[in-house]
């Protein structure tokens, strides 16, 4: 049986938007599945199924999409606590630990998620892994000045760091940084690795989102699976 991944993404996105109630402050994720969620949220506002929603986008891309759909936006300065953030992930392990950042917005995503009472992850069945690092590299956001020393350090940790490009040009984040996608043969201890990477000078943030997601809504060929952190 052929699985329609786009349809699974839409199903996960629509299911997650059910958690949004009128009057909420909502974190708007970034990435292909999160964009479907923002679209669904905008449609419900336009149809009157929701009202008085205010969004905080995790990227310039999600901000532009929200504005095009008529979703009012605010900032963390105005609303420092969000009711819920809904975002995608590149990997989800059985403990609901994540690797995120292939969309290039891991820094803002982590800031917004950390400010949220609920952090709901959405995705399709491909994102479920037994161990982090199985299918996705670990993105590490780095200031451009530190590219070489950070690359050497990440290589010494056992990874193969590759500077991210877009259309043949170095990818630049919304904050003006670069991303090194780090391929590991195995990540035995994500928490220890996260501490080591974050502590190195020049590293802005990494794509480990550990003990942050409160739940995950994953669309599979057999239906929706809803996981909650124990």
pTM: 0.95
Q: For the chain, what is the domain count? A: 2
Q: Residue for token digits 């995120």? A: 100
Q: Are residues 121 and 40 in the same domain?
A: yes
Domain that holds residue 151: 138-206
Give the pLDDT confidence score for residue 1 in this predicted structure: 52
Same domain, 65 and 153: no
Q: What is the pLDDT of residue 2?
A: 63
Residues in the chain: 230
Say if residue 11 is in the same domain as residue 102: yes
CATH code of 111's domain: 3.40.50.1360
Same domain, 38 and 124: yes
pLDDT recorded at residue 230: 74
Whether 48 and 113 map to the same domain: the answer is yes
Pairing of strands 223-228, 215-220: antiparallel
Residue 109 annotated to the active site: yes
- Does residue 92 share a domain with residue 61? yes
Tell me, yes or no, whether 218 and 181 share the same domain.
no
Q: Extract the tokens encoding 102.
A: 């292939």
Instruction: Indicate if 49 and 155 belong to the same structural domain.
Output: no
Name the active-site residue from 109, 186, 205, 215: 109
Positions in the chain short of pLDDT 70: 1-2
Residue 111 Cα to chain centre, angstroms: 11
* 11 and 100 fall within a common domain: yes
Q: What is the CATH number of the domain that holds 150?
A: 3.30.70.260
């Amino acid at each position: 049986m052929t699985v329609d991944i786009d349809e699974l993404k839409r199903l996960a996105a629509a299911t997650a938007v059910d958690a949004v109630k009128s009057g909420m402050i909502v974190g708007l994720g970034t990435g292909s599945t999160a964009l479907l969620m923002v679209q669904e949220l905008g449609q419900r506002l336009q149809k009157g199924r929701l009202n008085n929603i205010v969004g905080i986008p995790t990227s310039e891309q999600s901000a532009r999409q929200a504005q095009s759909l008529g979703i009012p936006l605010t900032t963390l300065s105005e609303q420092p606590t969000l009711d819920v953030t809904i975002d995608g992930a590149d990997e989800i392990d059985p403990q609901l630990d994540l690797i995120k950042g292939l969309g290039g917005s891991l820094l803002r995503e982590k800031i917004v998620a950390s400010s949220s009472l609920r952090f709901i992850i959405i995705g399709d069945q491909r994102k479920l892994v037994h161990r982090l690092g199985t299918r996705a590299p670990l993105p590490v956001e780095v200031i451009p000045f530190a590219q070489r020393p950070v690359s050497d350090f990440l290589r010494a940790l056992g990874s193969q760091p590759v500077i991210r490009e877009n259309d043949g040009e170095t990818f630049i984040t919304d904050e003006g940084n670069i991303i090194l996608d780090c391929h590991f043969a195995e990540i035995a201890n994500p928490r220890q690795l996260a501490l080591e990477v974050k502590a190195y000078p020049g590293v802005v943030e990494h794509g480990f989102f550990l003990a942050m997601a409160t739940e995950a809504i994953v669309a599979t060929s057999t239906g929706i699976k809803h996981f909650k952190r124990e």
